[in-house]
């Protein structure tokens, strides 16, 4: 592959991540009143690409420039999830976000009054961003970039532009009517946790693991397990018992992936399968969601079918392209 083709591949990977991140963050669950409205969905990308796509690319680029491994990358995506839900739109601390009629049902069962947060809702917001808004899109975009999956895609001027776009989009959300409700103490707390996660990412998150010879399931089986686990995770409710299950499931999945990725047999195809299955499970929720506003059944179904086909197409492409990912660089 010549230099021109390499540059084109890297730019296409950047564009894919810029768009895929907001799509995974806001569209695949089919929850908003823009569901099934192509004009509204495309128009919203003018804000969502800077708000989600820009930080996704920034996380990915900084990670690859400073040799941050996947534990560190997930720490960064979690930090941005806290930043988004705790500082920018402040939904983590809001008792009536956007006037959503089921908001009380969602936050009150696990509400902690001294902190002014709901454990269940906070987990849903932060994990939603950490895994689906940023983590999954980064993994899939890297897989599709093939041999460029572990190299920087942009130079510093390009990264500077993304920083400006992100700050502008974040400011737009913060001054809007949908943001607010957080106290100064809550904002400081959210920023402190974000900073701690960033510190972990650029220190302990850079450590290379000693990989062992152990068997791992085929990529197809990883995909087949990840999809229903992701779907079930997103189907859990808001009660205390549901929250306990969420935490337990999260710990179990983290332990399993940590164990499997410590094998020399764990490849880029496995990472692509894990990300694709996780995406497909979230897309499946869209078929069961009752969108806000007046959305017709036809528009709702068409919306969800489109993103189902998108998820399957991304999996097939990522599986084929990720064969070029060095097996030593996927943990």
Q: Which residues contact 316 (CB under 8 A, 6 or more apart)?
A: none
242-282 pLDDT tens trace:
999 999 999 999 999 999 998 999 999 999 999 999 999 99
Compute the distance between CA of residue 244 and CA of residue 15 in angstroms, rounded to an integer: 38
Can you give the pLDDT at residue 1?
54
Contacts of 303 (CB under 8 A, 6+ apart): 27, 30, 35, 36, 286
Identify the CA nearest to 227 among candidates 166, 192, 279, 262: 279
Q: State what percent of residues in the chain have pLDDT above 70.
A: 94
> Under a CB-based contact definition with an 8 Å cutoff, are residues 3 and 10 in contact?
no
Stretch (H or E) spanning 118: strand 117-118
From the list 139, 125, 11, the residue with the least C-alpha distance to 69 is: 139
- Kindly state the DSSP code that residue 294 receives in the 8-state scheme: -
pLDDT per position as a tens digit, 6-40: 888 999 999 999 999 999 999 999 998 999 999 99
CA angle 56, 327, 53 (to 5 degrees): 10
Least Cα distance to 49 among 32, 29, 25, 65 occurs for 25
Partnered with residue 52 across adjacent β-strands are none
> How many residues are there in the chain?
331
Phi-psi region of 181 (alpha: psi -120 to 50; beta: other; left: phi over 0): left
Per-residue pLDDT tens over the stretch 279-303:
999 999 999 998 888 899 999 999 9
Q: What is d(CA 2, CA 314) in angstroms, rounded to the nearest whole number?
A: 25
pLDDT-derived band at 327, boundaries 50, 70, 90: low
Task: Report the C-alpha gap between 55 and 165 in whole angstroms.
Answer: 9
- Contact (Cβ atoms closer than 8 angstroms) between residue 69 and residue 207: yes
For residue 274, give the nearest of 218, 215, 219 by alpha carbon.
219
Q: How many CA within 13 A on the CB side of residue 312?
A: 7
pTM: 0.93
CA–CA dist 314, 16 (Å, integer)? 11
What share of the chain has pLDDT > 90, as a percent?
A: 69
């Amino acid at each position: 592959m010549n230099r021109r083709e390499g540059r084109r591949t890297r730019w296409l990977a950047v564009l894919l991540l810029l768009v895929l991140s907001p799509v995974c963050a806001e569209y695949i669950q089919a929850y908003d009143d823009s569901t099934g409205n192509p004009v509204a969905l495309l128009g919203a990308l003018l804000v969502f690409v800077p708000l989600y796509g820009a930080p996704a690319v920034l996380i990915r680029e900084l990670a690859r420039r400073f040799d941050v491994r996947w534990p560190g990358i997930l720490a960064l995506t979690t930090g941005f999830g806290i930043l988004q839900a705790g500082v920018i739109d402040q939904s983590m601390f809001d008792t009536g976000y956007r006037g959503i009629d089921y908001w009380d049902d969602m936050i009150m069962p696990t509400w902690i009054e001294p902190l002014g947060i709901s454990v269940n809702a906070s987990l849903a917001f932060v994990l939603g961003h950490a895994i689906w808004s940023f983590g999954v899109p980064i993994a899939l975009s890297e897989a599709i970039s093939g041999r460029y999956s572990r190299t920087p895609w942009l130079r510093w001027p390009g990264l500077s532009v993304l920083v400006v776009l992100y700050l502008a989009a974040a400011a737009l959300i913060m001054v809007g009517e949908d943001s607010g409700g957080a106290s100064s103490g809550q904002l400081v707390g959210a920023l402190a946790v974000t900073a701690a996660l960033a510190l972990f990412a650029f220190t302990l998150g850079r450590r290379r693991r000693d990989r062992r010879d152990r068997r791992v399931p085929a990529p197809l089986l990883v995909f087949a397990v990840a999809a229903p686990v992701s779907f079930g995770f997103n189907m859990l409710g808001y009660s205390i018992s549901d929250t306990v299950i969420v935490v337990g499931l999260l710990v179990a999945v983290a332990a399993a992936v940590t164990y499997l990725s410590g094998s020399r047999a764990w490849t880029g195809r496995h990472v692509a399968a894990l990300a694709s299955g996780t995406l497909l499970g979230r897309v499946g929720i869209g078929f069961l969601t009752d969108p806000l506003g007046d959305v017709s059944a036809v528009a709702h179904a068409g919306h969800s079918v489109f993103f189902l086909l998108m998820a399957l197409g991304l999996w097939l492409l990522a599986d084929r392209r990720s064969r070029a990912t060095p097996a030593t660089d996927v943990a």
